[in-house]
Amino acid sequence: MAYIGKSPIIGNFVKLDAITAVNGQAAYTMQNGGANFTDYESVNQFLVSLNGTIQAPTDSFTVSGSTLTFASNLATGDVIDFVMCFGNSLSAGVPTDATVSTAKIVDDAVTAAKINNDIISGSTELASEPADTDEFLVSDAGTLKRIDYSLIKGGGSWVKISTVTASSSATVDFDNVASTYKMYAIVGTGITPATDNVEFLCNFGSDGSTYASNKTSVYYHQYNRSASDDATGGVSAGGYSLENDTANQTIAYALDNTSNYGKTNTMFAYFGGLAQGGYSCYNIEFNMYGSNNYNYAQKVTGVVIGDVDCVRFLMSSGNIASGTFTLYGIDQSWHIHIELKME
């Protein structure tokens, strides 16, 4: 097509495929390269010549989708000379490959919908701890690499498994403890008996819910009187509390059932979930303040024959009036060393 002056070098200028007029037919399909053509916004973008005469948009023809419809049916001998689409005045059409530079892209113009899923954009929040197989990017001596979360997550974390709140409870039980961790911990606070002057006991099991493991343990008892009583201290000598026995193990003696004192009673226990050489070690420390103005630190340490997969706490008489007990799994990368120093 000839132009007066310099021919346009930008814009979506398309000459559509030739259309043959059909007698008695007004509607025709527009195509470009054999494909239906719909890349326009208005009928005013079209230049249509019929029998050598330029047709007026809307008055002489309309367009809808890929259909061009003349105002009246064409007759034998009519010739559709050409159909041109000049595109939008602000449209540059489809750019040639590798011709768009970053300088031509408006800031913030590229949305997440136009970004591949493997692009790191931070547009989606991870609201929980990553799975072990989730991956992170790290720079290894300048080379970008990916690494599983399982290889970089912090060691020594305590994973909360369950909490039991005692309320006039005969026992507090942790049954069927899974063998996920090599070591477990139980933290108890506010442990108060319903009956005055009773012992606080525990037992272990290796079959999920039967508390009668054969165990050997040593018991220590340390106390310190209040400053008002010219502080003195004493230690009950260590010795076998149980030797190859399945009975309940005493953790603390002479618990006061007064709620004010019970609030101060705390316990920390840890035990091996998996037997090492056929034995699982346990270590329990109980701290309390009695109505006789004594502060007690009482400790039991021992071994259980076989794995430990259930733990029970109870009083020697009556119920556990109150107390909160929380079981944790300790990540196997932890190394724990707990020592009770007796002087």
Walk along the chain (343 residues) in steps of 10 and give the mean pLDDT of each run.
53 86 95 93 92 95 96 95 79 72 84 74 78 86 85 74 95 88 90 90 83 78 52 50 81 76 80 76 84 73 84 94 93 46 39
Tokens of 52: 């050598």
Specify the pTM. Answer: 0.52
Contact of 187 with 267, CB cutoff 8 Å: yes
pLDDT value at residue 216: 81
- Of the candidates 125, 298, 266, 79, the residue with the CA atom closest to the CA atom of residue 188: 266
Note the pLDDT of residue 243.
Answer: 73
| Token duo for residue 281 | 């070690």
158-330 belongs to which CATH class? mainly beta
Structural domain spans, the chain: 14-85, 158-330
Q: Residue 230: its pLDDT value, please?
A: 42
CB contact set of 151 (below 8 Å; sequence gap of 6+) = none
Q: Which two tokens stand for residue 22?
A: 């059909």
C-alpha span between 52 and 63 (Å, rounded):
20
pLDDT tens digits, one per residue of 199-221 = 999 998 877 778 877 888 877 66
Residues 6+ apart with CB under 8 A from 109: none
